[in-house]
Amino acid sequence: MDSDGLSRRRLLAAVGVGVAGSAGCQSLVTSTNQSSDNGAASGEASVYSDVYEDVADGVVSIQVYDGSPLPASGSGFLVDDRHIVTNEHVVDAGDTVYVRYAGTDWREVRVAGTDVYSDLAVIDADAVPETTDPLVWANTRPAIGTRVVAIGNPFGLSGSVSEGIVSGVDRTLLGENGFSIAAGIQTDAAVNPGNSGGPLVDLDGNVVGVINSGGGDNVGFAISAQLALRVIPALVEDGSYAHPYMGVGLSNVSPILAEGNDLEQASGVYINSVVSGGPSDGVLEGSTGTAVVDGVEVETGGDVVRRLDDTPTPTRQDLAAYLALETSPGDTMSVTVQRDGRRQTVDTTLGTRPAPR
């Protein structure tokens, strides 16, 4: 959907964040910053200890082999009596996948389904220890400031815990082929190579997100539970997930783009281009020219999206989140745009994102 062609790895490099993929799982390490409101002095159990005890048995280490002696590794967690959730980029590292629960040996497993556009994957693990309980999804989006715990295997150190808060919501991560991973969660909990695919949980032990990337500057990201709950059932059932597709290239309305297009407000989502033969071809309009503002060339003539159905879209993040969480391929959606100085509403029927190249 988005015109920006940066891959997830280039995006994370731009903000100083690494991508998971470290090998080996060894010792238990806990890394919690205990403060006065934890109700625990040094050496005593804390609220984070309780969360760890509730959740850790359902978190697994993952190793993936591609023919070389050193595997790629990541994390995952059990979501029902036989399925483990992790990142697509974790299992995509090779053809042979092993998982290990706390207190067990390595077990070869089968990948049941993957979705590159959400960076989610499901593993079919039919031999689950009887004492292992699946984790529970949070049923609402966490508020900014919610305390959270990341559990996984950073740098191959199994059972590691780090704590922090939800630093932001509705983050748009750029995935494969320039498409967005919408409704992402940002956290300052320490997230490093090997945490990918592990759970980000609140203090009740509910999963608010699937850790996707991190590694520096107190910035980590997770795929939201709300998006995961749409994608994962399809991966279990069919092995794939169909994402809604508008067939347009988008950018946020910046101050200079607003000036170049004679817009009163620097808000909304500008349509740079419309894919020929796509769902919005003949319905929405992309750029038709350019203008120079303060020495910078900006595109002009494209529609500015103000609402999708009854939902305002002041930013591209809002538009992407609505598409990802509220629509499906085949839905007909009303789009309110500003075109040639006036507002109008048009209908477009969503397609399905093309297969990743």
10: how many CB neighbours lie within 10 A of its CB?
Answer: 11
pLDDT at position 26: 27
pLDDT at position 173: 81
CA distances to 59, 328, 348 from 302, rounded to whole Å, are 47, 25, 16
pLDDT at position 131: 85
Helices (H), 42-132: 47-55, 88-91
Q: Where are the domains of the chain?
A: 8-235, 244-352
Buried b (16+ CB within 10 A) or exposed e, 55-85: bbbbbbbbbbbeeeeebbbbbbbbbeebbbb
Report how far residue 250's alpha carbon sits from residue 93's, in angstroms, rounded to the nearest whole number.
31
161 close to 205: Cβ distance less than 8 angstroms? no
pLDDT in tens, the chain (357 residues): 443 333 333 333 333 333 333 222 322 233 333 333 444 455 566 899 999 999 999 999 999 999 888 899 999 999 999 999 999 999 999 999 999 998 889 999 999 999 999 999 999 988 898 889 999 999 999 999 999 999 998 777 777 899 999 999 999 886 767 788 999 999 999 998 889 999 999 999 999 999 998 756 789 999 999 999 999 999 999 999 999 999 999 999 999 999 999 999 999 999 999 999 999 999 999 999 999 999 999 999 999 999 999 999 999 999 999 999 999 999 999 999 999 999 999 999 999 999 887
pLDDT at position 168: 95
Report how far residue 272's alpha carbon sits from residue 331's, in angstroms, rounded to the nearest whole number.
23
CA distances to 139, 162, 187, 272, 300 from 147, rounded to whole Å, are 16, 11, 9, 39, 44
Helices (H), the chain: 8-14, 47-55, 88-91, 225-238, 255-260, 316-326
- For residue 9 the two structure tokens come to 């790895």
pLDDT at position 3: 37
Topology of domain 8-235 in CATH is Thrombin, subunit H (2.40.10)
239: how many CB neighbours lie within 10 A of its CB?
Answer: 13
Pairing of strands 332-339, 304-308: antiparallel
284 close to 337: Cβ distance less than 8 angstroms? yes
DSSP letter at 176 equals: G
Topology of domain 244-352 in CATH is Pdz3 Domain (2.30.42)
Listed in sequence order, the residues at least 6 apart from 105 whose beta carbon sits closer than 8 Å to its beta carbon are none
Report how far residue 96's alpha carbon sits from residue 18's, in angstroms, rounded to the nearest whole number.
24
340 close to 304: Cβ distance less than 8 angstroms? no
82 close to 126: Cβ distance less than 8 angstroms? yes
Q: At what angle do helices 225-238 and 316-326 cross, to 10 degrees?
A: 40
Residues annotated as catalytic are: 89, 119, 196
pLDDT tens digits, one per residue of 106-121: 999 999 999 999 999 9
pLDDT at position 239: 97
Burial of 343 (0-12, 13-18, 19+ CB in 10 A): exposed
pLDDT at position 43: 56
- For residue 137 the two structure tokens come to 């999804």
